[in-house]
Amino acid sequence: MAQNPRTSETDSTPTIGRNTGLTRRSYVRSLAAVATATTAVGAAGGATATDDYEVIEAENQSITIESDETWENKLIDMTTGQDITITAQGSDWTIRNVGFEGANESGAGSGTFGIADTGGESTVENVYLGDGSVSGNAAPNGHGETAFWVSPDHAGHLEFKHVNIQGFADNAIYASAPGNAGGGTVHIDECFAANCYVSHYRLATEGSKVTNSCVYVDEEDYEGRGIWGWAPGTIDVENCQIEMNGHHTAIDAGANGQATTIVVRDTDYDEAAGIVEHDGSNVELEDDVGTDPEAYIPDGVPTSPEEAATGDD
């Protein structure tokens, strides 16, 4: 297998502590802190309504979604220069038709979404986070913004579908924390992630997988891994295009002294970026795996904030 010898002092930015405890940056505002600073679903501060969706201005607020609730048809105005965090905790909740307009310039080092399903099946679909973040590793504690942080409490199942994440400075979908805690599964399907730092799709638990999705990297600033598998695995990758243009690592298995397995099928990855196996990990290349990727935005993935907020596809 092709190996990528490139390393940097930021390759192992996340540590076991950050991957096993309820410690993810703005999520360390914690559920208790969120409870005292929460804007209830449907009553967000700085909100106005249109016929198609609600506009919410980012004002450093927190919004909480609870079991069996649906949070939908929102346009989040990030041009205020402030932050917003959305926490979904419980089971059988849904986040859909949400678009973020403007880059996150708050410098908060936050996770835009801090989510977990604690025993059922929850869904994130039709979300646009394509305007990214700009704080990079100059943010507090050396961390930039994360798009989705799946907390260690996650014990059920999460479905990501038709999500567009670009230009985030610290992980697009950071979903490895349940690997050493709740053990819940994550399925990323028909999603697009580009030019994010640290990693684009990061998973850990048996039954978690990335399917029908793409990764694209063409910038040197945010050249994160395409897919990063953490212990215990096994992680499945099927029908994906991982176009890295030689940046960082296309498929990375293992971290922090713990081994995992990634099984890859019907996928093209960038051979110049390559495959790396750490700590006894294995990347198993099965049927129809090639090295001529052509990343694309899958059908149904929103390409603007308004498109996401209205639910148009």
311 CB burial (10 A radius; 0-12, 13-18, 19+): middle
pLDDT (0 to 100) of residue 69: 98
Residue 233 lies in a domain: yes
pLDDT (0 to 100) of residue 63: 98
Residue 47 lies in a domain: yes
pLDDT (0 to 100) of residue 27: 36
Residue 11 lies in a domain: no
pLDDT (0 to 100) of residue 12: 35
CB-based contact 246:271 (threshold 8 Å): no
| Alpha-carbon separation of residue 102 from 56, 130, 162, 309 (angstroms) | 13, 9, 19, 14
Residue type, 63: I
What's the CA gap between 126 and 89, in Å, rounded? 19
Residue 129 lies in a domain: yes
| pLDDT tens per residue, range 229-277 | 999 999 999 999 999 999 999 999 999 999 999 999 999 999 999 999 9
In tens digits, the chain (313 residues) has pLDDT values of: 222 222 222 333 332 223 333 333 333 333 223 333 333 344 345 666 567 999 999 999 999 999 999 999 999 999 999 999 999 999 999 999 999 999 999 988 889 999 999 999 999 999 999 999 986 555 555 568 999 999 999 999 999 999 999 999 999 999 999 999 999 999 999 999 999 999 999 999 999 999 999 999 998 778 899 999 999 999 999 999 999 999 999 999 999 999 999 999 999 999 999 999 999 999 999 999 999 999 999 999 999 999 999 997 6
Residue 5 lies in a domain: no
pLDDT (0 to 100) of residue 137: 52
What's the CA gap between 211 and 56, in Å, rounded? 32
What's the CA gap between 88 and 69, in Å, rounded? 9
Residue 203 lies in a domain: yes
Number of domains in the chain: 1
Q: Which domain holds residue 188?
A: 16-310
Residue 66 lies in a domain: yes
Q: What is the pTM of this model?
A: 0.85
Q: Got the DSSP string for 226-282? A: EEEEEEEE-EEEES-EEE-TT-S-SEEE-BTTB--EEEEESEEE-TTT-EEE-TT-E
Residue 6 lies in a domain: no
